Amino acid sequence: MLDKNSKIYIAGHNGLVGSAIWNNLKQRGYNNLIGRSHSELDLTDQMAVKRFFDEERPDAVVLAAAFVGGIMANFLYRADFIMQNMMMQCNVIGNAYSHGVKKLLFLGSTCIYPKDAPQPMKEDVLLTSPLEYSNEEYAIAKIAGLKMCESYNLQYGTNYIAVMPTNLYGPNDNFHLENSHVMPAMMRKVYLAKLIHDGNWDAIRTDMNKRPVEGVTGANSNDEILAVLAKYGISDNRVTLWGTGTPLREFLWSEDMADASVHVLLNVDFKDIIGIEKYSSVFYGKTTTGAVDRNNSEGRGGAIPSLGEIRNCHINVGTGKELTIRELSELVVKTVGFEGTVEFDTSKPDGTPRKLIDVEKLHSLGWTHKVEIEDGVRKLFDWYRESLL
């Protein structure tokens, strides 16, 4: 059990979810938090990660760090998506075990589910049919991560929990056009198209200085700025988005995700997910209070065959609600105050047609979302404008 003095390492504490988890824990009075930026600790460096665990000896780990991006990035950087994420996960989870970490929370993504999975997607549909091709590598890495957690629990009696959030958005979101997710990319495109129409070049240059596009900043000429923005479907009072606009998506406010993550970290154990009677009756030996000998049966899962087939122990985290990409664009347009035209380039891929998750398991564990999409889009736009000041 973690207490207010427990040392908690948050990998990815500067990111969208990691920063929100950090703040949530702080608000709850957990102040013994550790974070390292990528420049301070490269999680793909096995020896550097081991040295960090040797020195810090955290009681708990939240693995919120990942190599992420939208549909374009998934197409372009396929090798990076699988290799970078696999290395980070192996290094952090492996060292968490060897250093006796009491609790680990692994953050994945609902892209782990098959492209044509029955909707809403329950945890049990994992690995039942092919994945969406455009993000296959990232999905496979995340599936491997959740399986690592599950397998360590079953073999060594650890307490590693995997949560799979739906599409996230919120403070510290990534608005860089080359590799951002759908909502921040859409919001920035609509905002810049409005500024171009308004002739507000001071605001455009401020935006480009804050987040350059392909190396183009506010110091470039008007024509150079317009040319690079046009490549991303942004022009005077006109925005072009990828696909047909018909795919359905579920969105979760990042601070809600953080609250769900902390709730699971503090209140949910592996035995709660698979059934306390089944788990506790056959698991024996040491728990996660200290490292165990990999070559000694003591501390392992015990009579594994008597457990039957235990799988899909991860937890979906979302709202259980969805809207189309076109409906999202209309919400963004209204929030930004854009009076121009939004077009859809149907020659570009849509990605998975629908990605609604079943959140019954999450609700049964005592948590439900608070921020609805209409309020969330407004909150995100407010944050984005403030980030430019």
pLDDT at 151 over 70: yes
Segment 330-351, tens digit of pLDDT: 999 999 999 999 999 999 988 7
% of the chain exceeding 70 in pLDDT: 90
pLDDT (0 to 100) of residue 9: 98
> Could you tell me the CA-to-CA distances from 142 to 87, 104, 197, 242, 359 in Å, in that order?
11, 15, 42, 25, 19
pLDDT (0 to 100) of residue 303: 40
Least confident range of 166-180, 295-309, 330-344: 295-309
pLDDT (0 to 100) of residue 306: 63
Mean pLDDT of 34-42: 96
Give 287's pLDDT tier (boundaries 50, 70, 90): very low
Give 184's pLDDT tier (boundaries 50, 70, 90): very high
Give 354's pLDDT tier (boundaries 50, 70, 90): confident
Residue 386 to residue 377: CA distance in whole angstroms: 14
pLDDT (0 to 100) of residue 69: 66
> Which residue type sits at 293?
D
Give 71's pLDDT tier (boundaries 50, 70, 90): low
φ/ψ (deg, to 5) at 55: -80, -40
Half-sphere exposure of 315 (CA within 13 A, CB side): 30
Q: Is 130 exposed, middle or buried (0-12, 13-18, 19+ CB in 10 A)?
A: exposed
pLDDT at 300 over 80: no
pLDDT at 250 over 60: yes
Contact criterion met (CB below 8 Å) for 303 and 285: no
pLDDT at 16 over 50: yes
Q: H helices of the chain, where?
A: 16-27, 46-56, 71-76, 78-98, 136-156, 182-198, 201-210, 222-230, 254-267, 270-274, 276-282, 304-307, 325-336, 360-364, 373-387
| Global model pTM greater than 0.85 | yes
Residue 169 to residue 151: CA distance in whole angstroms: 30
Contact criterion met (CB below 8 Å) for 118 and 355: no
**Three-state SS for 317?**
strand
Nearest-5° Cα angle at 165, 326 to 348: 35
pLDDT (0 to 100) of residue 258: 97
**Three-state SS for 8?**
strand
Give 279's pLDDT tier (boundaries 50, 70, 90): low
pLDDT (0 to 100) of residue 345: 96
Task: Provide the token pair at 297.
Answer: 């049966």
Mean pLDDT of 283-310: 49
Helix (H) / strand (E) containing 162? strand 160-165
Closest alpha carbon to 159 in 167, 150, 168: 150
Mean pLDDT of 98-106: 97
Segment 82-93, tens digit of pLDDT: 999 999 999 999
Least confident range of 47-56, 88-97, 155-164, 300-309: 300-309
pLDDT at 133 over 80: yes
pLDDT (0 to 100) of residue 73: 67
pLDDT (0 to 100) of residue 72: 66
pLDDT at 299 over 60: no
Give 109's pLDDT tier (boundaries 50, 70, 90): very high
pLDDT (0 to 100) of residue 375: 98
Mean pLDDT of 216-235: 98
Active site residues: 138
Task: Provide the token pair at 59.
Answer: 């009681």
Contacts of residue 324, defined as CB under 8 A and 6 or more positions apart, other chains included, come to: 245, 246, 247, 248, 249
Residue 316 to residue 118: CA distance in whole angstroms: 15
Helix (H) / strand (E) containing 161? strand 160-165
Closest alpha carbon to 109 in 326, 372, 357, 368: 357
The three state secondary structure string of 205-274 is HHHHHHCCECCECCCCCHHHHHHHHHCCCEECCEEEEECCCCCEECEEEHHHHHHHHHHHHHHCCHHHHH
Task: Provide the token pair at 66.
Answer: 């990942």
Mean of pLDDT over the chain:
91
pLDDT (0 to 100) of residue 179: 77
Contact criterion met (CB below 8 Å) for 301 and 288: no
Strands of 33-34's sheet in order across: 33-34, 8-11, 60-63, 103-107, 160-165, 315-317
Helix (H) / strand (E) containing 67? none
Least confident range of 43-57, 76-90, 235-249: 76-90
